[in-house]
């Protein structure tokens, strides 16, 4: 099987020759440590190199481009430093947020997830309806540069691809939080539900139009939405509120995706998602990630509760990876029943943190390769 066939067979509860080996990767601080612990500086494909270090000899799957769709605001806000302090700086990011970050980071760290950056939010771009009216002007779905400049040539390349390719969009909770800020959004659900509904309806139609434009050139294997909306043990808004405000949009997007024959409709949310999975299933979503263990997600329990209605990616406890040895062995053993049952691509339950050493990462990849059929 090629990588695309293997990906689809796994997440759709089929019969793959082996399960995709997707251990996850480290961000900047993690890679810095790994380079000091034995990872060569010139290695670009870290998962493959770790697999080779673990004794793997099988051919590494081919990868290739996707069909990127630019959902971001056009024009963006100016990125700039507003104030320099002794140990921090106050900056404006490309989204119009004003926040305080450590001196070791630049504004660019807020544009790209290069590392784990703690920040203090000071001001978000939408504080009233006038701000919202102005913000909407930055989201014209017909703007030409929202699709790749070489869209026709890229579509031809993707037609006979051997790797999985998908479209990715921000979900409604994620996007409204970007505009309003987290606390303001949570209060707005109660204090100004009409504004929230207007924003949700706008985002629903905007993303549908982007999908329609992309589908004229390319049919992806999956559509994935980012929707971080859960704490440890609970979702950030109640399931009833999510049903009232968000489920109609999730379902409408699901109808568009299903009508195009796209087999996987996936969602990402950190935190405990056990309260949200039933709603996602109702909306037509059939895969989710990263399944953080520290937040209370238990894939064995979820498989019993939801059966083959939901597939998963991630789910390996990063804390066990950091401890290594017998602890990570027990973690992989814990997940083996779900791995063998199908509908699951195991990997780190978020970005690999810097307390995971390079030797422990290689050992974890070895264990993962053994249980997924790569060793």
Strands across the sheet containing 166-170:
166-170, 222-226, 264-268, 287-289, 311-316, 344-348
* Structure confidence at residue 113 (pLDDT): 78
* Structure confidence at residue 114 (pLDDT): 79
Strands across the sheet containing 119-123:
80-84, 88-92, 98-102, 119-123
Taking 90 as the threshold, does the pLDDT of residue 306 lie above it? yes
CB-based contact 230:236 (threshold 8 Å): yes
Identify whether residues 195 and 91 lie together within a single domain: no
Last residue of a domain, one of 92, 124, 156: 124
pLDDT band of residue 115 (cuts 50, 70, 90) is confident
Identify whether residues 149 and 53 lie together within a single domain: yes
* Structure confidence at residue 72 (pLDDT): 97
Identify whether residues 156 and 97 lie together within a single domain: no
CATH of the domain at 253: 3.20.20.210
Alpha helix (H) residue ranges in 120-191: 129-136, 151-159, 172-180, 182-191
* Structure confidence at residue 108 (pLDDT): 85
Distance CA 302, CA 31 (A): 33
* Structure confidence at residue 117 (pLDDT): 85
pLDDT band of residue 69 (cuts 50, 70, 90) is very high
pLDDT band of residue 354 (cuts 50, 70, 90) is very high
Residue that has been written with the tokens 């779900």 in this structure = 338
| pLDDT digits 0-9 by tens, 176-226 | 999 999 999 999 999 999 999 999 999 999 999 999 999 999 999 999 999
Taking 90 as the threshold, does the pLDDT of residue 356 lie above it? yes
| pLDDT digits 0-9 by tens, 231-243 | 999 999 999 999 9
**Which residue did the predictor score with more confidence, 109 or 70?**
70
CB-based contact 357:349 (threshold 8 Å): no
pLDDT mean over 285-303: 98
Q: Which residues pair with 226 in a beta bridge?
A: 170, 268
Identify whether residues 269 and 363 lie together within a single domain: yes
DSSP string, 252-292: HHHHHHHHTT--EEEEE--S--TTTHHHHHHHT--EEE---
Identify whether residues 95 and 58 lie together within a single domain: no
Identify whether residues 247 and 325 lie together within a single domain: yes
* Structure confidence at residue 112 (pLDDT): 81
Distance CA 206, CA 201 (A): 8
**Which residue did the predictor score with more confidence, 371 or 116?**
371
Taking 90 as the threshold, does the pLDDT of residue 283 lie above it? yes
DSSP string, 184-212: HHHHHHHH-HHHHHHHHHHHHHHHHHHHH
CA atoms within a 13 Å half-sphere pointing along the CA-CB vector of 101: 20
* Structure confidence at residue 80 (pLDDT): 93
Q: Which residues pair with 81 in a beta bridge?
A: 91
pLDDT band of residue 107 (cuts 50, 70, 90) is confident
Identify whether residues 17 and 118 lie together within a single domain: no
Query: For residue 83, with 0-12 CB atoms within 10 Å meaning exposed, 13-18 middle and 19 or more buried, which class applies?
Result: exposed
Look up the domain containing 116 and give its range: 78-124
What does R_g of the chain's alpha carbons equal in angstroms? 21
Last residue of a domain, one of 124, 143, 159: 124
Computed over every residue of the chain, the mean pLDDT equals 96
Q: Which two tokens stand for residue 13?
A: 């509860």
Overall number of domains in the chain = 2
Identify whether residues 103 and 247 lie together within a single domain: no
CB-based contact 18:178 (threshold 8 Å): no
Distance CA 240, CA 220 (A): 32
Highest mean pLDDT among 99-103, 350-354, 371-375: 371-375
| pLDDT digits 0-9 by tens, 85-98 | 999 999 999 999 99
Identify whether residues 102 and 248 lie together within a single domain: no
Distance CA 125, CA 176 (A): 11
Distance CA 328, CA 320 (A): 5
Distance CA 63, CA 65 (A): 7
Residue that has been written with the tokens 């995706």 in this structure = 257
Identify whether residues 104 and 235 lie together within a single domain: no
Instruction: Provide the percentage of residues in the chain whose pLDDT is more than 70.
Output: 100
Taking 90 as the threshold, does the pLDDT of residue 110 lie above it? no
Nearest Cα neighbor of 314 from 267, 246, 357, 250 is 267
Identify whether residues 115 and 242 lie together within a single domain: no
Phi–psi pair at 222, nearest 5 degrees? -155, 155
| pLDDT digits 0-9 by tens, 74-88 | 999 999 999 999 999
Identify whether residues 270 and 355 lie together within a single domain: yes
Instruction: Provide the percentage of residues in the chain whose pLDDT is more than 90.
Output: 94
């Amino acid at each position: 099987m090629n990588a695309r066939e293997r990906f689809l067979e796994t997440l759709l509860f089929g019969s793959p020759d082996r399960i995709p080996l997707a251990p996850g990767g480290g961000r900047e601080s993690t890679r810095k440590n790994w380079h000091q612990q034995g990872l060569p500086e010139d290695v670009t494909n870290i998962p493959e190199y770790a697999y080779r270090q673990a004794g793997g000899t099988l051919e590494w799957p081919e990868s290739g481009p996707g069909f990127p769709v630019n959902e971001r605001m056009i024009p963006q806000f100016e990125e700039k430093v507003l104030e320099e302090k002794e140990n921090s700086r106050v900056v404006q990011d490309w989204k119009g947020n004003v926040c305080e970050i450590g001196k070791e980071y630049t504004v660019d760290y807020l544009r790209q997830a290069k590392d784990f950056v703690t920040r203090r939010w000071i001001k978000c771009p939408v504080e009233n309806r006038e701000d919202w009216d102005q913000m909407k002007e930055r989201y014209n779905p017909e703007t030409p540069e929202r699709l790749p400049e070489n869209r026709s040539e890229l579509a031809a390349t993707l037609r006979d691809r051997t790797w999985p390719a998908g479209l990715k969009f921000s979900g409604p909770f994620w996007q409204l939080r970007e505009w309003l800020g987290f606390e303001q959004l949570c209060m707005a659900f109660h204090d100004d539900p009409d504004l929230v509904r207007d924003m949700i309806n706008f985002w629903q139609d905007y993303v549908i139009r982007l999908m329609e434009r992309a589908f004229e050139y390319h049919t992806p294997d999956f559509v994935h939405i980012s929707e971080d909306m859960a704490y440890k043990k609970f979702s950030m808004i109640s399931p009833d509120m999510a049903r009232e405000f968000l489920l109609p949009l999730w379902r409408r997007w699901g109808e568009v995706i299903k009508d195009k024959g796209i087999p996987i409709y996936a969602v990402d949310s950190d935190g405990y998602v056990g309260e949200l999975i039933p709603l996602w299933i109702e909306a037509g979503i059939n895969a989710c990630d990263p399944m953080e263990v520290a937040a209370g997600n238990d894939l064995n329990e979820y498989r019993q509760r939801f059966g083959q209605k939901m597939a998963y990616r991630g789910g390996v406890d990063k804390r066990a990876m950091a401890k290594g040895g017998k602890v990570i062995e027990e973690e992989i053993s814990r997940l083996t029943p779900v791995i063998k049952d199908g509908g699951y691509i195991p990997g780190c339950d978020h970005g690999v943190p810097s307390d995971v050493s390079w030797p422990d990462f290689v050992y974890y990849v070895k264990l993962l390769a053994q249980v997924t059929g790569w060793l």
